[in-house]
Structure 1
């Protein structure tokens, strides 16, 4: 099911191009309103999801880079072992792989991940995220959907 790797490549390209555009056209912490509930806000995330370990002193950069690289290798092996009828699994894994590589590139090059999607309601803001994070989230959601649908078909 390696034919779905184009999704990974697409996710990485869209992610990296968007981050380059943001970093080239905005100042750090600058925020541009798009519509109520959504801003483009340029931030650096030195941690993982939800800025987990962002204040850890620097070691987390290489820890998360190594983790993402290891997971990426595991996903490629998993993709190779999928059966032809496991299309949704291949799509899910392709998106997760693309997201992991997109954020891995940032960690290795910059030491942080560039985030910019800022979703909020009144004064509550969801942690700022990017296209790579969105690809990972969509991939995981599709994987969960598939597992629930598979369980319903069995039961």
Structure 2
């Protein structure tokens, strides 16, 4: 397995796995498949090409993108010591093989290399037990719970807010 930062040539693969994630786990993301299905590959080519506050990493096995995660650095001066993990997804058939742990560990390592980042935040749906275990095993701690954070198909989902102090 290879983990690396995605670049414009990965945009098509990223869009494909992103749409799969939104279909496979609609309760786990604030965005929906319906909202993103018409996104263009150009959007991701552009975002992977610029030096932005977001860095997306991909896990590759046999040249296939099997997992992704994005680290978003806060831009406001008073929040510039913080970053957020978003858009984490591992293909269902690849779960349980350590890919998620490798991706999160890689993001933590990269965040440690950015001098201003002191803490990393994420949110996880409370029913996603395997993701919660993964994040806890990487050192994240729950600091709050948001009731009815997401609503999908008339069902509410609570989210836990987690933080890792570097």
TM-score (norm 1): 0.28
TM-score (norm 2): 0.27
The structure with more helix, counted as a fraction of residues:
1
The structure with more strand, counted as a fraction of residues:
2
Relative contact order higher in (CA < 8 Å, ≥ 6 apart): 1
